[in-house]
Amino acid sequence: GAVVSQHPSRVICKSGTSVKIECRSLDFQATTMFWYRQFPKQSLMLMATSNEGSKATYEQGVEKDKFLINHASLTLSTLTVTSAHPEDSSFYICSARTVNTIYFGEGSWLTVV
């Protein structure tokens, strides 16, 4: 079964609104989680590293005020896309590390209309 759960799997929102995506580690604690973005037919691009209890670390070119990351507990990280625009439409996916390997959530398809 899944060890990392992501919700919602699909979301449609209007331009200008904000949308929150949750990433949960199941049955294990994850002090660090990662958020990736994937455009159609392309590879995953790391957006940011989510650190429990501290600020996220963003990759170059990723707007931290646009993509708010909160890692308030050892099992939950959230990504909030603020003031969403159609160009934010994409596939967002998180990952977390267990003892043995790195698992990904199911991913979230965001469509901004």
Partner 1 sequence: AQKITQTQPGMFVQEKEAVTLDCTYDTSDQSYGLFWYKQPSSGEMIFLIYQGSYDEQNATEGRYSLNFQKARKSANLVISASQLGDSAMYFCAMRATGTASKLTFGTGTRLQVTL
- Enumerate binding residues for partner 1 (CB under 8 A): 32, 34, 38, 42-46, 49, 91, 93, 95-97, 100-107, 109
From the CB of 6, what's the least distance to partner 1, in Å? 9
Buried/exposed 8-22: b ≥16 CB within 10 Å, e otherwise? eeebebeeeeebebb
- CB closer to partner 1 out of 52 and 70: 52
CB nearer to partner 1: give 13 or 44: 44
State the nearest-atom distance from the C-beta of 102 to partner 1, in Å.
5
Give residues with Cβ within 8 angstroms of 37, minimum separation 6: 44, 45, 47, 90, 91, 92, 93
Query: Whole-number minimum distance, CB 58 to partner 1, in Å?
Result: 12
- Are 26 and 4 in contact, with CB atoms under 8 Å apart? yes
Of 97, 96, 63, 60, residue with least CA distance to 77: 96
- Least spacing, CB of residue 78 vs partner 1, in Å: 18
CB-nearer residue toward partner 1: 44 or 68: 44
Instruction: Tell me the Ramachandran region of residue 107: left when phi exceeds 0, alpha when psi lies from -120 to 50, beta otherwise.
Output: left
Q: Which residue, 2 or 72, has its beta carbon nearer to partner 1? A: 2
